[in-house]
Amino acid sequence: MQTGRVHTSFPLATGTQLGYQQEQVDQFLSSARSAYEAAAGSAEAMTSESVRRTAFPVKRGGYAARYVDAAMDRLEEVFYERERRARVRAAGEDAWWDETRQLLSEVRGRIHRPRGKRFRRRGLFATGYRRSQVDAFLDRVSEMFERRELGLKPAEVRDVVFHSQWRGYDEEQVDALLDGVVELILATR
């Protein structure tokens, strides 16, 4: 006789920890599998960026976040590699490297701006990312680029958290730059 045990894809959060809603995660992963198995360019297309930007609601007893996050990181890398191969097939390796160098130039241009002035600041009565935290993280990214070492992993960039402050950096601009950094790390693997 079977007890009330339910099969899950990931371990569940324990105690008072919140986890990702199981139904949402399972539905997304099912969609990702369908998109990966579908022909490239089909209506079911999913991109590495859409994987990176996916967020799940949390609840008690949900899937343990660290396991789901690790799976999402691997999934993003799989879709990125598929996209890279498609771009190389379509335009050639030289064109792909030209795009990557252009992205590197844009990211470096933003990072090399003076601390406190790297991004647009939010309005007088609005909060944004704490400038000192963003600048410190971007200094670390800059060192990585200057040493030509990949000391950061994509997950470290994706998972970075900045506190808020009045008149902080515009979140959309910072997030767009972080997406570019993740793409550069993936491109140089």
For 95-133, how does the pLDDT look when each residue is reduced to its tens digit (9 = 90+)? Answer: 999 999 999 999 999 999 999 999 999 988 999 999 999
What are the C-alpha distances in Å from 25 to residues 12, 31, 168? 12, 10, 32
Buried b or exposed e, range 81-105, using 16+ CB within 10 angstroms: eebbeeeeeeeeeeebeeebeebbe
Q: How far apart are CA 147 and CA 134, in angstroms?
A: 20
3-state secondary structure of 34: helix
**Cβ atoms 33, 78 nearer than 8 A:** no
pLDDT band at 5 (very low <50, low <70, confident <90, very high): very low
pTM: 0.78
Q: How far apart are CA 11 and CA 26, in angstroms?
A: 13
**Cβ atoms 134, 113 nearer than 8 A:** no
For 23-36, how does the pLDDT look when each residue is reduced to its tens digit (9 = 90+)? Answer: 999 999 999 988 88
